[in-house]
Structure 1
Amino acid sequence: STTGKPDSTGSVGTAVEGAIKEVSELLDKLVKAVKTAEGASSGTAAIGEVVADDAKAADKDSVKGIAKGIKEIVEAAGGSEKLKAAAAKEGNEKAGKLFGKVDANNAGDSEAASKAAGAVSAVSGEQILSAIVTAASAGEADQEGKKPGDATNPIAAATGNKDEDGADFDKEGMKKDDQIAAAIALRGMAKDGKFAVKNGGGEKEKAEGAIKGAAESAVRK
């Protein structure tokens, strides 16, 4: 399928490939700006990095700095009024399992990776940008790193809490595809931002390509 939606075989790879679209001029500028932001990921190799152990929390100043920088660039370009805040759907909350500790019961797996890819492929770059701008406009308390089940803001979800288990996103503010995709993009770009997948049964290998593809797609939509 080249539509960005999973095909009948449920191929995550195909869904991710379909989700990767041409980089717009604005997004080109954003990626360059983000790479020069303090503490941002050192390059594309680190975007969507998967670890088979506990993912420590992403650097909170890096996550907030990236989100704030994106908000300022969008607003400077007069884009905040133009962004289409189209309604996004729910159904991919299980992607939250990639944002916590690795353990036998709650760790991320290939299913969570598929949900992450599904969230990214279901939304546009404008929707992701809009979700990041909205997140960066929220109060400081809402932006503090939280475990997936408690996060109500993509910045909080992207930062995370290294001591907490992975879990489905469960709160309003993190259930919709644009919010999930925004968290994936922010964690993918942030310093120390990694996605946790349990090591066993080939889950890390099965999930790795899908997560990296989803994160890169979310950053470059």
Structure 2
Amino acid sequence: MVMMMVMMGCNSGGVLESKESVENRFLKSLVGLSNEFLNVFTSFGEMVGSVLGLKADSKKSDVAAYFKTVQGTVEGVKRGLNKIVADMKKESNPNAAATETAVNKLVSETLDKIITGAKTASEAIGGDANDFIGNVAAGGAGAAAGVKGDNIKNLVKGIKDIVDVVLKNEGSAEAGDDKKAENLSARTGSNATDGEAGKLFSVSNAGAADNAKKAAADAAKAVGAVTGADILKAMIKDDGDAVKLSEGVDAPSAKKDAVIAGGIALRAMAKGGKFAGLSDNANADAKKTVEGTAVGAVIKALDTLMIAIRKTMDLGLKSVKETMKTNINATTVASENSGSSSQNQ
């Protein structure tokens, strides 16, 4: 009887853990971690459908809110991942170290860069930017000048931080051609030539009625000819012509569709940014076309950016989850071998 009590005491002290107990413990751990990841995926997926409802009367502050939402959501993902690691450490989970390494890699190489970029872009625009995305000067004497807007360099920097992570090999800043909409002849590339999209960035006016219509049509052609990835790459190109256009600087080489579309997107997003109006009197057709083109360029760029962020996040989270699975299997096998070895002694 004494011997039986000693043996029971040893087992109750947990000296040896059965194979079934080990497998159940790791199974429960994996199920719990899977649920954590499901919550992460769901929260990020909901953002995709809720942020991009931009329209003609949307304001620049809506774009700032878009980047603020990206920042907050990715910060939430980061907190969720760190909580998983902390819980694993607290439970002395043998896979904690491998999981922490995978999480730290995802955070440092991807999440932190997206968070920083989104914060910079959001602050560059500002939550109080109440002018329209498609902001066009009223037109007429003294009221037709385009305005470059504020903090363009910070806006570009923030977007670049994100694009460099999520769109490494997609899009081209030189996409499209240099043909203007009117007759498919080559653009001059300046912001002073009547009938070309560049005229919308003029610090004086977009030209008289007919020429303003041509400039508006040329801008619409440029945005329609390229992808969102092309627009983003043109926006972030170092010392690029898209930035020069948006800042109202004469850029003779700014002829390609992607460059023009990138310049339009930047001016449309920038706080205080305004496209030039007609020199003589307002023209509803030209103004409406420019407004729609500006919103279209922004939607194209931000939609592409959102999809790219989602894909990058999916790959990163799946990589971390795969690390967990691999190490859980390895540890279970090791436990089985340890149990067999103990029984053979």
Separation of aligned partners in 2, 1:83 and 1:183: 19
Identity %: 31
| 1:37 matched to 2:139 | no
Q: What is the SS of the residue equivalent to 1:123?
A: coil
Match of 1:73 among 158, 162, 167: 162
Answer with 1 or 2: which has the greater Rg: 2
Map 1:33-182; keep pairs closer than 5 Å: 33=118, 36-40=122-126, 42=128, 46-51=132-137, 52=139, 53-55=143-145, 57-60=147-150, 62-77=151-166, 79-80=167-168, 82-85=169-172, 87-92=175-180, 93=187, 94-100=196-202, 101-102=204-205, 109-134=212-237, 137-138=238-239, 153-160=241-248, 171-172=252-253, 174-182=254-262
State the shift of 1:55 in Å: 2.7
**In structure 1, C-alpha distance between the alignment counterparts of 2:157 and 2:129, rounded to whole Å:** 19
State the alpha-carbon separation in 1 of the partners of residues 290 and 197 from structure 2. Answer: 10
Distance 1:59 1:202 in 2: 22
Aligned to 1:8: none
Q: 1:220 aligns with which of 299, 308, 317?
A: 299
CA distance in 1, matches of 2:295, 2:206: 26
- Determine if contact 1:108/1:197 at 8 Å carries over to the other structure: no
Between the aligned partners of 1:67 and 1:154, the Cα distance in structure 2 is 10
Paired AA for residue 118 in structure 1: K
Question: Kindly tell me: are residues 196 and 187 of structure 1, through their superposed partners in 2, closer, same or farther at Cα, counting changes over 3 Å?
Answer: same
Question: What SS does structure 2 have at the residue aligned with 1:38?
Answer: helix
Give the partner amino acid of 2:231.
I
Cα root mean square deviation, aligned = 3.3
Distance in 2, matches of 1:208 and 1:126, equals: 26
What displacement does 1:184 show?
0.3
Match of 1:194 in 2: 274
Distance in structure 2 (CA, Å) of the matches to 1:106 and 1:200 = 7
Task: Specify the code of the residue in structure 1 equivalent to 2:241.
Answer: N
Deviation of residue 200 (structure 1)?
Answer: 3.7
Counterpart CA distance in 2 for 1:40 and 1:91 is 35
**Using a 3 Å threshold, how does the CA distance of structure 1 residues 107 and 190 change in structure 2: closer, same or farther?**
farther
Give the CA deviation at 1:192. Answer: 1.6
Per-residue displacement from partner, 1:137-175 (whole Å, max 9, x unpaired)?
23xxxxxxxxxxxxx6111110115xxxxxxx7622x10
Give the structure, 1 or 2, with the largest relative contact order (CA under 8 Å, sep 6 or more): 1
Query: Secondary structure of 2:124's partner?
Result: coil
Unaligned runs of 5+ in 1: 1-23, 139-151, 162-168
**Aligned partner of residue 195 in structure 1, secondary structure:** coil
- The TM-score, its normalising length taken from structure 2, stands at 0.43
Query: Higher helix proportion, which one?
Result: 2
Q: Tell me the number of residue pairs that the alignment of Structure 1 and Structure 2 aligns.
A: 171
Q: Deviation per CA, 1:46-79, whole angstroms, max 9, x where unpaired?
A: 111111124353235x2111111111011233x2
CA separation of 1:130/1:84 partners in 2, compared to 1, >3 Å: closer, same or farther?
Answer: same
